[in-house]
Amino acid sequence: MTALESVSMRIGAEWRAGTRQFCSIDPYTGEPWLSAPEATRQDVEDAVAAARAAFDRGPWRSMPGGRRAELLRRLADLIEQNADALALAETRDNGKLLREMRDQVRSLPAHYRYFAGLADKIDGRVVDTGRDNFVGFVLREPIGVVAAILPWNSPLLLLTFKIAPALAVGCTVVVKPSEHAPASILRFAELVEKAGFPPGVFNTVCGEAKEVGQWLVSSPQVDKVSFTGSGVTGRLVAAQAAEHLAPASLELGAKSANIVFADADLDAAVSGLLSGIFAAAGQSCVAGSRALIQRAVADVVIERLVERTRRITIGDPKDPATEMGPIAFGGQLDKVRRFVSIARADGGQILAGGDTAGDRDQFFLPTIVAGLPLTSRAWQEEIFGPVLSVRVFDDEEEAVELANGTVYGLAAGVWTTNVRRAFRLARRLVAGTVWINAYRTLGYAMPFGGLRHSGYGRENGVEALNEYLTDKSVWVEMSGAIRDPFTVG
């Protein structure tokens, strides 16, 4: 048996291999490839204490923004130099296409450079207090120690969404990667150290046990929680943070609609429908898992969609010819199977796929389902797999009603050449992101986040800074007069 690669946790100035380890399984080979440390409660407490000390007594919080920016830019350079190795670690952890992971990791330096450019621009304001004997001003200060909890599908991208703005404003962080994909984040920690960040500014804990995340979120020394993952876990995280009144930002699930109108460029729309759901094997929070197609073009769009779906190449995610890799782990594959069974039981017609890929146990064929009732769980709930539900609509009103007819509100796509309709739909759809004639495009300058059960808070853009800053009001009395101590003056 080939020796396993190994990683350690970064806690303060120390690298810890852990007293116990667990294995990360390569979804394509089904074999363990990496040994990672299982954090104990003491490890978690030490990581939080290191972040607390670095924030309260270290140089990071009071460091001029321009100096923090220099370190963020140095980190960006190191990511650039190590992008291919980091991307391969993610592919081996979660089975996503290596070419997609390379594109993601290679995009990350721009995120750090963007927030480096904002690090020395955290300005307050002077306020007219309405009193001639007072000057008032507002300071914007870092909120403190941030707990960042990550999923397995795009670890470094989603980590960057959280820590680039947090570090830029002067927060310190403790990061918990998913037990299904710890490699890239723990190796990223090595780059943080190499870039010269002070000890305790960036800490990591990991483990298979769900208690690791609970210990972290419930620590009274954590000032802010930022979580990306399922709605079920997100509710638990928010409740645990609320026990010690720590604010939380949550990026949760979705059941996003990709809407095709009759006047759309149909070739582009079909490509967008495929990208929205079958890229990353549907394992994406913004997956366009519901296709709404206007009746006048429904037959031709569905025919083209089914034909192209049946030709999707599945296989080794490291092979450039592969278009869809495996499902990340057994529990997720079971969930996809279960939802396809629900779709069949509810009267759904399987137009493509619907099962695992022959003898390739960890692959699920790209699947299209039509005819689901609106009450079906397969129509209403997030599957997080390569399953697209298709429905026909007649007019704009019906399209909006169908698109908004779930508890979620993360994303939506609109395919139309009618500019007036495009702007109307952008306003009417309940979604944090609306793409017009595109899908699954993200950028560091555009805020990202959800509504309803898709969560709250925003990542990316200047708006992300607000998640990690708190306002302090300062009153300065100028006259020197002694006021009546028994009135509000």
Q: CA 348 → CA 13, 260, 285, distances in Å?
A: 56, 21, 23
- The single residue of 38, 90, 208, 251 carrying the catalytic annotation is 251
Per-residue pLDDT of the chain (489 residues; tens, 9 = 90+): 578 999 999 999 999 999 999 999 999 999 999 999 999 999 999 999 999 999 999 999 999 999 999 999 999 999 999 999 999 999 999 999 999 999 999 999 999 999 999 999 999 999 999 999 999 999 999 999 999 999 999 999 999 999 999 999 999 999 999 999 999 999 999 999 999 999 999 999 999 888 999 999 999 999 999 999 999 999 999 999 999 999 999 999 999 999 999 999 999 999 999 999 999 999 999 999 999 999 999 999 999 999 999 999 999 999 999 999 999 999 999 999 999 999 999 999 999 999 998 767 799 999 999 999 999 999 999 999 999 999 999 999 999 999 999 999 999 999 999 999 999 999 999 999 999 999 999 999 999 999 999 999 999 999 999 999 999 999 999 999 998 999 987
Active site residue 251: yes
* Residue of 38, 90, 171, 285 marked active site: 285
5-252+450-473: CATH number: 3.40.605.10
* Sequence spans of domains, the chain: 5-252+450-473, 257-436
Residues 305 and 273: beta-carbon distance below 8 Å: yes
Residue 148's alpha-carbon distances to 82, 323, 343, in angstroms, are: 23, 31, 35
Predicted TM-score (pTM) of the model is 0.96
Distance CA 344, CA 387 (A): 12
Backbone angles phi, psi at 321, to 5 degrees: -80, -15
Give rounded-to-5 percent helix, strand, coil for the chain.
Answer: 40, 20, 40
Q: How large is the C-alpha radius of gyration of the chain?
A: 24
The fold adopted by the segment(s) 257-436 is Aldehyde Dehydrogenase; Chain A, domain 2 (3.40.309)
Q: Helices (H) and strands (E) in the chain — how many of each?
A: 14, 23
d(CA 58, CA 182) in angstroms, rounded, equals 28
- Per-residue CA distances from 454 to 183, 204, 382, 426 (Å): 27, 26, 10, 18
Catalytic residue status for 206 = no
**Backbone φ and ψ of 168, nearest 5°:** -60, -40
